[in-house]
Chain A
């Protein structure tokens, strides 16, 4: 029971942080320099892990569907299923889980170290706002980076699927691409991108919140970092369910 209460307490605190962040985003001057630095650290530096994950996921999905559909003589639907599965679900979710683990751990460790060495107190004592200096640039950067990485994951994942349908199922390249594109609607892509916008904000908010409340020296930083990765993963999965329900209802 206490775990449930702690979860909702955390959710409340993160919501307050989200509100303060939103308020600070629109209060000039905007911290462009810090945001670009975070965009590079959180987004640009994550392209390789995103690319690898997406291409192998696309290939594995295509292989599994091809094997599963073969008894029904429906292997021609492999590309369609892979395409929809990736752009609606796996592209945004896998990208967010992987980048969230990598970047979220980094954010929490960095901010947590600042907290235990009184650097966050120092920011306030020197007349600045830690939310403005630390949280806003990270939230904005991740809200931009995750959708962009998701687009890349969608393209590369689908390419992986096409590769398998051509190499193993025996379709022509043109037919494979055509069936995949025919099956996908713009709304499918938008569906995935809307999710990724939320996931980007969640990654940054949860990791910053965990970092700022870190205490107990270096041991505390380690604890906060681990907790952050777990919390980010769980929150993304729960948010994915809720967003899927909402978006499906909207598009229906």
Chain B
């Protein structure tokens, strides 16, 4: 898998690298969402994060979530895999309600839905190989030799072969993110959640990570939900984007629809991504 796979494609009218002839997963006939948020409420003490948030995610699509700092974009990912409880509403993943899941059901969910954390969240005390083996051991993947083979395979996929014995402290920010991604895909998940995958990276690493996200979707059919501030990332990888604003999803649609949308706050985000300031600004 080459990390620069699709970024040589020309941008379409909306600025996306996506193949213009591609039918987006949510437009396919009979497409049913695999993840649904319905009327979700979440608060941290007096701080209300969501009030009636609703969103659908379709199999095989790459959905990016944008919004200002502190609006709770990352919280959405954590609610989705039961890392945080929600106060009201319903979140269904593969048809099951997350808040109703017991320990075993959550374990099954987390083998199908993986997450790449903002700072990669690698375990400092472990080598790269041990980090990647962590979920494999928890889910009883196989023998030690099989796990070693899987570690080598996923490191190859993120273009970082032969670094099994390195410690996270010996890696750069971009390398840590790629190892984090290798750990996330080790269990062959059907859905990957990316929390700010390109934040703090140099442009080369940004392109690498974007290429990896695209490649995973193209080659493995993985569904991706990407929380990001980086509009270039949004337009490089996205099928649809959703904007969190005012404690709900204020917009969801394709990049072209986002660009054509009259909602000022959204336009600021979208056009700011191309370095064009709107008249409203």
Contact = CB atoms under 8 A, between A and B. Distances in A.
Contacts of B134: 126, 128
A118 B183 CA distance: 15
Interface in A125-158: 125-129
Contacts of A121: 78, 83, 117, 121
Interface in A76-127: 113-114, 117-119, 121-122, 124-127
Given A118-B117, A118-B118, A125 B81 contact: yes
A125 B123 contact: no
Contacts of A117: 119, 121
A122 B114 CA distance: 10
B138 A128 contact: yes
B128 to A, nearest CB: 14
A126 B119 contact: no
Contacts of A122: 115, 117, 121-123
Of the four ranges (under 10, 10 to 19, 20 to 34, 35 or more), the interface on chain A belongs to 10 to 19
B135 A127 contact: yes
Contact of A125 (B83, B119, B124): B83
Contacts of B122: 119, 122
A124 B103 CA distance: 11
A126 B112 CA distance: 10
A113 B123 CA distance: 11
B115 A125 contact: yes
B107 interface: yes
A125 B118 contact: no
A114 B122 CA distance: 9
B138 A118 contact: no
A119 B118 contact: no
Contacts of A127: 107, 110-111, 135, 138-139
Contact of B123 (A119, A124, A129): A119
Nearest to B113: A125
Nearest to B114: A125
Interface of A: 113-114, 117-119, 121-122, 124-129
4 residue pairs, one from A and one from B, having the closest CB atoms:
A122-B121, A126-B135, A127-B138, A118-B121
B44 to A, nearest CB: 11
A126 B117 contact: no
5 contacts: A118-B119, A121-B121, A124-B83, A125-B115, A126-B134
Contacts of A125: 81, 83, 110, 114-115, 117
A119 B81 CA distance: 15
A125 B106 CA distance: 9
A128 B123 CA distance: 13
A126 B81 contact: no
Nearest to B121: A122
A205 B110 CA distance: 27
A239 B278 CA distance: 65
Contacts of B103: 129
A114 B83 CA distance: 15
A125 B123 CA distance: 13
A119 B121 contact: yes
Nearest to A125: B115
B202 to A, nearest CB: 21
A117 B121 CA distance: 6
A217 to B, nearest CB: 11
Contacts of B123: 114, 119, 122
A141 B53 CA distance: 45
B166 to A, nearest CB: 17
A41 to B, nearest CB: 11
A122 B111 CA distance: 13
Nearest to A122: B121
A123 to B, nearest CB: 8
Contacts of B119: 117-118
A124 to B, nearest CB: 6
Nearest to A129: B103
Contacts of B83: 121, 124-125
Contacts of A118: 117-119, 121
A127 B133 CA distance: 12
B181 to A, nearest CB: 13
